[in-house]
């Protein structure tokens, strides 16, 4: 079978009619050409009413909000023009500028057969990904699609230029250029893989959904009765599965978030991130921001307000595995990636989901030359049969692999404590950060004092009958243990590189990152690692 599609996207076989999903237009005069173009520019009355009912923007309104005014150049506008009711074959593709930088756009039109894919749809998308690979251009995916048209499955599904080629090209693009997805409606069946291969997925609440099988199919095949929101709704994916990164209230907010996210990244993997005007932090970093007691909770976002340039933090996956905070921010105008434990949520303990979240963000930063700053206040990884069955060891190894593989300038800060493998996961000294520094009250140990004393001296403590004598004994053991892990001793033994006062922490991180700009980022000679997944 020819790789070229039939009809306008390629020649029909001699003697065969053009295959379409609607009735073919029999004439090709100027009037018909004008009508074909006009049909691609605005929705039908019925389509417009449906968009309004769902609080959605028309596909071209979405593109107009995304790209700089007057910069969009469309390709394949007349795809499937000989078919009735399939303007542009349900997808708008082309180039434009976002904040003056060239990008590619793929945008489904949900008013055309629910944004479903036909053979020309797939060909248009394949061509965009080929341009992205050739010219190293970022892609914005504006997704709102019910999936493939079964009537076109032979032409769009199995071939070398079928739908699988889209995903293969997305994989090839990963780490070369940004792939950003705004999910405005459904992304069904195989089409759900387009968001999954993107670096960022923004989902519009109440409208967006992702699923391999619909609720009706789930009931038919596995006997499960489930609603669409439970199966693959935006809130589920941004809080439970982690397949979505950000939750937006409407189309406009989703597009604005996509533009903001892109502003932190370079155009390609070959470039450095953009630079911004430096701004002072929103508040001073004072000693009282971090409670002295190990187990006391506090919100790590407060510390970020005191470290980063004011209003510069862009959090990724804020609703998912919130015990770990990741996102982009600026230090004196320089973009950095933040990986920070959050003691306000589950004590900042690392779980399977937070380890996965960290690993992917670290890989993202390393791919696009974004320096990393770790802020460690971590009791370690969660323990217990439930997390063991979920694969906490595998997930922890995955995060530690990402930490070890990263080659960008890196500073690790021990904010209050780093216990057990939590030290390793937050880029402790053994992982060769460009600097591992600590606040004066920080602690590094295999485990916290209470856990250590109970692990070693439990039987002896239990044998002491007098409560006061027992309490005094435990306090003496605790004092000895804390003396053993004193941060000054660790600095004296060259375990950490510096002890920094809170008021000086921001300037110290900035200086350390600046000093690391000349580091050698070459990786060891091998085909690839085999990370635990």
Domain ranges of the chain: 45-264, 300-442+496-516
Question: How many residues can be counted in the chain?
Answer: 533
Low-confidence stretches of the chain (pLDDT < 50) are 1-21, 25
Cα distances (angstroms) measured from residue 90 to each of 48, 87, 111, 365, 409: 15, 6, 8, 34, 44
Dihedral sign (CA 136, 518, 500, 505): negative
- Pairwise CA distance, residues 410 & 372, whole Å: 5
In this prediction, residue 525 carries a pLDDT of 87
- Pairwise CA distance, residues 104 & 132, whole Å: 7
Number of C-beta neighbours around residue 286 at 10 A: 10
Q: From start to end of 109-259, where are the E strands?
A: 139-145, 179-188, 200-204, 209-211, 246-248
Query: Is beta strand 443-445 parallel, antiparallel or unpaired with respect to 324-331?
Result: unpaired
pLDDT digits (tens, 9 = 90+) for 251-282: 999 999 999 999 999 999 999 999 999 999 99
Kind and range of the H or E element at 473?
helix 467-484
285: DSSP letter: -
In this prediction, residue 179 carries a pLDDT of 98
Q: Are 134 and 102 in contact (CB under 8 A)?
A: no
At 340, list the tokens: 């920070």
Question: Which residues on neighbouring strands pair with residue 73, listed in sequence order?
Answer: 95
Read off the pTM: 0.91
Q: Are 305 and 390 in contact (CB under 8 A)?
A: no
Task: Give the largest Cα separation in the chain, rounded.
Answer: 102
In this prediction, residue 18 carries a pLDDT of 45
3.90.226.10, 3.40.50.720, 3.40.50.2300, 3.40.50.300: CATH of 45-264: 3.90.226.10
At 216, list the tokens: 């009706």
Same CATH topology for 45-264 and 300-442+496-516: the answer is yes
In this prediction, residue 27 carries a pLDDT of 53
For 90: left if phi > 0, alpha if psi spans -120 to 50, otherwise beta; the answer is left
As its CATH architecture, domain 300-442+496-516 has Alpha-Beta Complex (3.90)
SS3 call for 162: coil
pLDDT digits (tens, 9 = 90+) for 391-436: 999 999 999 999 999 999 999 999 999 999 999 999 999 999 999 9
- Pairwise CA distance, residues 72 & 241, whole Å: 35
């Amino acid at each position: 079978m020819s790789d070229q599609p039939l009809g306008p996207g390629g020649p029909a076989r001699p003697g065969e009619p053009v295959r379409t999903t609607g009735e073919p237009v029999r004439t090709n005069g100027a009037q018909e050409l004008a009508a074909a173009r006009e049909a691609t520019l605005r929705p039908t009355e019925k389509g417009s009413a449906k968009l309004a009912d769902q609080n959605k923007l028309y596909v071209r309104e979405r593109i107009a909000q995304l790209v700089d005014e007057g910069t969009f150049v469309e390709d394949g506008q007349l795809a499937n023009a000989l078919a009735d009711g399939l303007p542009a074959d349900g997808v708008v593709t082309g180039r434009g500028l976002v904040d003056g930088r060239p990008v590619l756009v793929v945008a489904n039109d949900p008013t055309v057969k629910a944004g479903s894919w036909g053979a020309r749809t797939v060909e248009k998308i394949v061509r965009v990904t080929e341009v992205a690979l050739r010219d190293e251009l970022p892609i914005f995916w504006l997704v709102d699609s019910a999936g493939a048209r079964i009537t076109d499955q032979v032409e769009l599904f199995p071939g070398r230029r079928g739908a699988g080629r889209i995903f293969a090209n997305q994989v090839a693009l990963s780490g070369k250029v940004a792939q950003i997805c705004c999910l405005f409606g459904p992304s069904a069946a195989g089409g759900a893989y387009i968001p999954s291969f993107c670096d960022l997925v923004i989902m519009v609440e109440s409208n967006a959904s992702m699923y391999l099988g619909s609720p009706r199919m789930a009931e038919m095949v596995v006997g499960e009765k489930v609603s669409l929101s439970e199966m693959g709704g935006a809130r589920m994916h941004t809080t439970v599965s982690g397949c979505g990164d950000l939750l937006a209230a409407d189309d406009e907010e989703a597009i604005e978030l996509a533009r903001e996210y892109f502003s932190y990244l370079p155009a390609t993997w070959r470039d450095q991130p953009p630079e911004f005007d430096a701004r002072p932090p929103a508040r001073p970093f004072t000693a009282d921001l971090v409670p002295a007691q190990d187990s006391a909770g506090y919100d790590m976002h407060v510390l970020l307000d005191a470290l980063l340039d004011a209003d510069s933090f862009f959090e990724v996956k804020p609703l998912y595995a919130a015990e770990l905070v990741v996102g982009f921010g600026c230090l004196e105008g320089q973009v950095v990636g933040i990986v920070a434990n959050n003691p306000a949520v589950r004590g900042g303990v690392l779980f399977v989901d937070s380890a996965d979240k960290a690993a992917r963000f670290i890989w993202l930063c390393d791919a696009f030359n974004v320096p990393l700053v770790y802020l460690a206040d971590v009791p370690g990884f969660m323990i217990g049969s439930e997390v063991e069955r979920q694969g906490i060891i595998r997930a922890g190894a995955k995060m530690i692999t990402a930490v070890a593989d990263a080659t960008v300038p890196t500073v690790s800060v021990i904010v209050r404590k780093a216990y057990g493998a939590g030290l390793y996961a937050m880029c402790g000294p053994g992982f060769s950060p460009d600097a591992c520094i600590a606040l004066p009250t920080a602690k590094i140990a295999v485990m916290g004092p209470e856990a250590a004393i109970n692990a070693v001296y439990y039987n002896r403590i239990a044998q002491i009958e007098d409560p006061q004598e027992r309490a005094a004994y435990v306090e003496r053991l605790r004092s000895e243990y804390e003396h053993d892990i004193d941060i000054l001793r660790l600095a004296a033994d060259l375990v950490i590189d510096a002890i920094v006062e809170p008021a000086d922490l921001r300037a110290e991180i900035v200086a350390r990152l600046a000093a690391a700009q000349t580091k050698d980022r070459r990786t060891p000679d091998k085909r690839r690692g085999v990370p635990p997944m």
